[in-house]
């Protein structure tokens, strides 16, 4: 679905523009290379004038041309986009301004035109010099950026290794329930989490969470959420089962604000599956749950309009009982699966999950999960973590 149709707290934030995150300590090399490269314009104008422009005026024109190009880099990297309109308008005055500078310098300093042959040689030599200088500067810039890219890549691989440790495929089975969960990370470090705990009394608590955002902050918060959830569920076997999930959401919503950035939050869907066959669910701003019934031979969805976790100091999270018959299947997928788009910008959506399940609703959960993820990859490019939680009521 389009972001405009979601609540404000679920809308994706656009990425930053190129160069906005590059510090000046590295950006100056690129800017210097651009300065040298575009200073050629001043020398080129002198060549077109057959070398008759005084050397001092040629150098000033080259400096002005280079600074103009650097100003564009600064505007793109650090200034508001409205400044580009001012720069665009400024270009129309560059020619008259440089003509005025040339006349002023010639009159003020009584500059005389050089010998044309000497002027051409001077301009040609300067063009060669600034081309070589720009090459050296760009080469050093790419070397520094390459080293930085290698460092980031190494950290990203390390983070992916940590993520795989924190979010391995999960498989739990009791006499009446079977649970399977899997997460396929995107190229970036994400914050999807799927987990299932077998309680001492034989019940299962399974949940799927999605941290807003990407990168290390989302991955770190995901690890914190998993730790907090497992801690909160330590005594889940002793309380009334209907209150387990609302209490879990309440605790997570109180803990997360102190360990995250203000704009970050988590969505979560959780289930409690009792050894006697009873089941409950609770949701916090997460995608709908898909329910397949072999008796009705149809799909139904259900969801709860509740706030995400860690964003606002709200309370009153609720949970609901759900009746599951033999063979019933529950599937939860994160946005990374549902929002995959094809070339016509059509989303994979719940319908894509339904098609994969309908192909063989009795298949093992792991095989069914691989089918859903495979269909999503065929449908469109993966741009987010793709995570599934699947629950089957056994006969």
With a CB cutoff of 8 Å and minimum separation 6, the contacts of 298 are: 292
Q: Which residue from 206, 217, 221 is spatially nearest to 169, judged by alpha carbons?
A: 206
When pLDDT is averaged across residues 143-149 and rounded to a whole number, the result is 85
Instruction: Report pLDDT digits (tens) over 80-128.
Output: 878 888 888 888 888 888 889 888 998 889 888 899 999 999 999 999 9
- Report residue 16's pLDDT band, with 50, 70 and 90 as the boundaries: very low
The CATH number of 168-393 is: 3.60.40.10
Instruction: Report pLDDT digits (tens) over 157-201.
Output: 776 777 777 789 999 999 999 999 999 888 666 789 999 999 999
Domain boundaries, the chain: 3-159, 168-393
Whole-angstrom distance, CA of residue 242 vs CA of residue 273: 10
- Report residue 395's pLDDT band, with 50, 70 and 90 as the boundaries: confident
Instruction: Report pLDDT digits (tens) over 34-50.
Output: 999 999 999 999 999 99
- Report residue 213's pLDDT band, with 50, 70 and 90 as the boundaries: confident
For residues 58 and 116, the answer to whether their CB atoms sit within 8 Å is no
Q: What angle do CA 72, 74, 76 make, to 5 degrees?
A: 70
| Burial zone of 177 (CB within 10 Å; 0-12 exposed, 13-18 middle, 19+ buried) | buried
Whole-angstrom distance, CA of residue 352 vs CA of residue 379: 9
Instruction: Report pLDDT digits (tens) over 222-265.
Output: 989 999 999 999 989 888 999 999 999 999 999 999 888 888 99
Q: Which residue from 113, 153, 195, 140 is spatially nearest to 27, judged by alpha carbons?
A: 140
**Percentage of the residues of the chain whose pLDDT score is greater than 70:** 93
With a CB cutoff of 8 Å and minimum separation 6, the contacts of 107 are: none
For residues 373 and 386, the answer to whether their CB atoms sit within 8 Å is yes
Q: Which two tokens stand for residue 136?
A: 């050296």
Q: What DSSP state is assigned to residue 212? A: S
Whole-angstrom distance, CA of residue 191 vs CA of residue 261: 14
Instruction: Report pLDDT digits (tens) over 315-331.
Output: 889 999 999 999 999 99
Whole-angstrom distance, CA of residue 39 vs CA of residue 30: 14
In this prediction, residue 14 carries a pLDDT of 41
User: What SS3 class is residue 176?
Assistant: coil
pTM: 0.69
- The neighbouring-strand residues paired with 347 are 341
């Amino acid at each position: 679905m389009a972001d405009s149709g979601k609540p404000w707290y679920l809308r994706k934030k656009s990425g930053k523009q190129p160069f906005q995150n590059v510090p000046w300590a590295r950006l100056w090399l690129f800017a210097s290379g651009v300065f040298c490269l575009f200073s050629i314009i001043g020398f080129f104008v002198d060549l077109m004038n057959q070398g008759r422009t005084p050397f001092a005026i040629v150098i000033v024109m080259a400096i002005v041309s280079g600074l103009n190009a650097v100003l564009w880099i600064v505007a793109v990297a650090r200034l508001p986009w409205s400044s580009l309109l001012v720069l665009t308008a400024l270009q129309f005055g560059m020619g008259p301004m440089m003509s005025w500078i040339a006349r002023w310098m010639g009159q003020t300093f009584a500059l005389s035109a050089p010998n044309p042959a000497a002027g051409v040689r001077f301009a040609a030599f300067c063009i060669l010099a600034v081309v070589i200088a720009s090459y050296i500067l760009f080469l050093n810039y790419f070397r520094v950026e390459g080293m930085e890219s290698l460092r980031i890549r190494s950290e990203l691989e390390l983070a992916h290794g940590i993520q795989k440790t924190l979010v391995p495929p999960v498989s739990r089975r009791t006499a009446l329930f079977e649970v399977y969960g899997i997460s396929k990370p995107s190229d970036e470090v994400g914050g999807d989490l799927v987990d299932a705990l077998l309680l001492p009394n034989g019940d299962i608590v399974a949940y799927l969470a999605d941290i807003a955002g990407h990168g290390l902050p989302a991955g770190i918060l995901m690890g914190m959420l998993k730790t907090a959830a497992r801690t909160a569920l330590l005594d889940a076997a002793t309380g009334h089962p209907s209150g387990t999930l609302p209490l879990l959401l309440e605790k997570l919503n109180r803990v997360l604000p102190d360990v995250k950035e203000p704009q970050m939050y988590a969505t979560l869907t959780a289930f409690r599956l009792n050894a006697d066959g009873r089941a409950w669910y609770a949701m916090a701003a997460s995608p709908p749950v898909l329910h397949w019934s072999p008796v009705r031979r149809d799909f139904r969805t259900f969801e709860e309009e509740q706030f995400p976790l860690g964003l606002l100091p709200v309370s009153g999270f609720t949970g609901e009982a759900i009746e599951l018959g033999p063979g019933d299947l529950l599937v939860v997928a994160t946005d990374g699966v549902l929002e995959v788009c094809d070339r016509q910008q059509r989303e994979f959506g719940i319908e894509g999950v339904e098609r994969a399940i309908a192909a063989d609703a009795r298949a093992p959960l792991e095989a069914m999960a691989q089918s859903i993820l495979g269909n999503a990859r065929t449908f469109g490019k993966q741009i987010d973590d793709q995570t599934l939680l699947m629950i089957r009521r056994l006969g």
